[in-house]
Amino acid sequence: MNIVDDARASSAPSAEHRTVTTGPIAGSSKHYAEVPGAPGLTVPLRRVNLSNGEHLDLYDTSGPYTDDSPDAPPIDLLAGLPQPRHAWTRPAPAEGVSTQLAWAKAGIVTDEMRFVAAREGVDVELVRSEVARGRAVIPANRNHPEVEPMIIGKAFAVKINANIGNSAVTSSIEEEVEKMVWAARWGADTLMDLSTGKDIHETREWILRNSPIPVGTVPIYQALEKVKGDPAALTWEVYRDTVIEQCEQGVDYVTVHAGVLLRYIPLTAQRVTGIVSRGGAIMAAWCLAHHRESFLYTHFSELCDILRSYDVTFSLGDGLRPGSIADANDAAQFAELRTLGELTTIAKSHGVQVMIEGPGHVPMHKIVENVRLEEELCEEAPFYTLGPLATDIAPAYDHITSAIGAAMIAQAGTAMLCYVTPKEHLGLPDRDDVKTGVITYKIAAHAADLAKEHPRAQERDDALSRARFEFRWHDQFALSLDPDTARAFHDETLPAEPAKTAHFCSMCGPKFCSMRISADVRAYAEANGLTTVDAIEAGMAEKSKQFEENGSRVYLPVSPA
């Protein structure tokens, strides 16, 4: 069945707004691969077609939007995406619980596990065992049938999340839906809708029904809207009903700041930047107002029961994360982390999947300690960090200050990275900022996969570098994270089509091309058996004259078009 709830129907964008970005990424085409052990199930691939006849298949997060094949389903935002998961097999409950964690612990392999194993190119048993250990999660609410399941865990490729969402001051539903499609197009593995302004429910409905990637939220934001923005007026009942409303819609994971305890609040009083997490600040205000532990903490088991019935995953929020280099790794941050560890044990005992959120702002020499402690205190639950920013001094470039920290913390074992855009600390990201943030974080995640020697990671680097060395410009663009911008930059200095096959580039011009001299050197060395130190040390002086005649004059008059 296709959920179009009244709210969404009534808030339907006008016809001219019902369009989002579609079509394949330049140089690639959409393909689907069979899922072993699950007849009829297929995983999406981005196939890069190379000019030498070869191709490289890449992990694809973009959903049906990049499929331009004749038999592809039409894109209709009002109807929403197809809902393949309705046809998937759902096993009987394991000891009364129907979550990926419960099934994995019971030794049951689900279609979701088979799907992600095929996507990652790993054995499904690795997926099952990591989920069973709680070292990986598959965020897939049973009410989000449009989702293409994915896995978050240190044994798998590092994932990235993109945040979108309107606020009281900006943005519309149409913009947010396009941002979701756009983020997924460039590689976002999950999406968080952090809307705090008007139409929170409607915006989320539009996003969920059209999102091929898991969607996360922070329910306290909507709960606070319901009480007119006064944190002291929040109650467990208002919060509970909000969580149920969002689980019913199909949210796949929720951030819960249940680790902000009353006694931790004073630990932030002497900080340079106090409490910078919105959820953390809201709960701190509530705790002080009522001088009680927060209802998120006191009702945590009840919350577990709600999430379990939809297989929604906890993302235990770090409400006391550092907001500056000065506050990194302090008492408040690590006190909360210890509490998140206790909550992890409780959630898993209820059969609920859990990941743990991390900082924030951390100097490079204090990054690894965050991962070590999280693994020690939280049973190696997947770590999900925001950056961290490695310095505070570059507002407008915080996608870069944080990409440095993100790559390092991912190398150390973080499973998912929440992106930061150039607008961080300054404004809300627009469409271009979303793309910049996603591409920047794909770089950080991939750099970490290389450093972890992930089986598939280096294939793409090698394919691109080979294309670069052989002057296959179109292949170099197609294999890159952003073919459009790579080509545009090349066009700026050498626009003409012939330049796309020329054996030089604008950096050095035809006479200075080291790649080209190097190719000639290699050809000469191989032609003359000079491919070993011994051979060359044998000293074949007679070769040199011959090389001068036909080899060393490598600068044939190739002039830039």
Q: Is the dihedral of CA 258, 389, 355, 419 positive or negative?
A: positive
Under the criterion CB under 8 A, does residue 236 sit at the interface with its own copies? no
47 is in an annotated binding site: no
User: In whole angstroms, what is the distance from residue 30 CA to residue 352 CA?
Assistant: 34
Q: Long-range CB contacts (< 8 A, 24+ apart) of 126-131?
A: 126/155, 127/151, 128/104, 129/104, 130/155, 130/156, 131/100, 131/101, 131/104, 131/353
CB of 511 to its own copies, least distance (A): 4
For its own copies, the binding residues in 495-534 under the rule CB under 8 A are 505-515, 517-522, 524-526, 530-533
Under the criterion CB under 8 A, does residue 26 sit at the interface with its own copies? no
Q: Which is nearer to its own copies, 72 or 561 (CB)?
A: 561
Under the criterion CB under 8 A, does residue 304 sit at the interface with its own copies? no
Work out which of 62, 143, 203, 476 binds its own copies, going by CB under 8 A: 476
User: In whole angstroms, what is the distance from residue 452 CA to residue 154 CA?
Assistant: 10
User: In whole angstroms, what is the distance from residue 223 CA to residue 239 CA?
Assistant: 5
Nearest Cα residue to 423 out of 163, 226, 219, 235: 163
CB of 32 to its own copies, least distance (A): 23
Measured in residues, the chain has a length of 561
- CA 325 to mean position of chain CA atoms: 24
For its own copies, the binding residues in 380-419 under the rule CB under 8 A are 390-397, 399-401, 403-404, 407-408, 411
* CB count in 10 Å sphere of residue 88: 16
279 is in an annotated binding site: yes
For its own copies, the binding residues in 81-140 under the rule CB under 8 A are none
| Through-space distance between the first and last CA atoms of the chain, rounded to whole angstroms | 57
Q: Which is nearer to its own copies, 373 or 400 (CB)?
A: 400
Q: Give the amino acid at 496.
A: A
513 is in an annotated binding site: yes
Token pair, residue 414, equals: 């973080």
Q: Give the amino acid at 38.
A: A
304 is in an annotated binding site: no
Work out which of 19, 49, 309, 552 binds its own copies, going by CB under 8 A: 552
Binding residue count for its own copies, defined by CB under 8 A: 142
Work out which of 241, 334, 427, 456 binds its own copies, going by CB under 8 A: 427
Under the criterion CB under 8 A, does residue 554 sit at the interface with its own copies? yes
Q: Is the dihedral of CA 293, 299, 304, 310 positive or negative?
A: negative
CB of 468 to its own copies, least distance (A): 7
User: In whole angstroms, what is the distance from residue 322 CA to residue 328 CA?
Assistant: 5
For its own copies, the binding residues in 191-210 under the rule CB under 8 A are 196-197
CB of 495 to its own copies, least distance (A): 10
Q: Which is nearer to its own copies, 293 or 379 (CB)?
A: 293
Nearest Cα residue to 113 out of 350, 328, 311: 311
Nearest Cα residue to 153 out of 136, 139, 133, 130: 136
CB of 341 to its own copies, least distance (A): 19
372 is in an annotated binding site: no
For its own copies, the binding residues in 130-189 under the rule CB under 8 A are 167-170
CB of 30 to its own copies, least distance (A): 20
Query: Binding site, residues?
Result: 163, 192, 221, 257, 277-279, 318-321, 357, 361, 384, 425, 505, 508, 513
Query: Binding site for [4Fe-4S] cluster, residues?
Result: 505, 508, 513
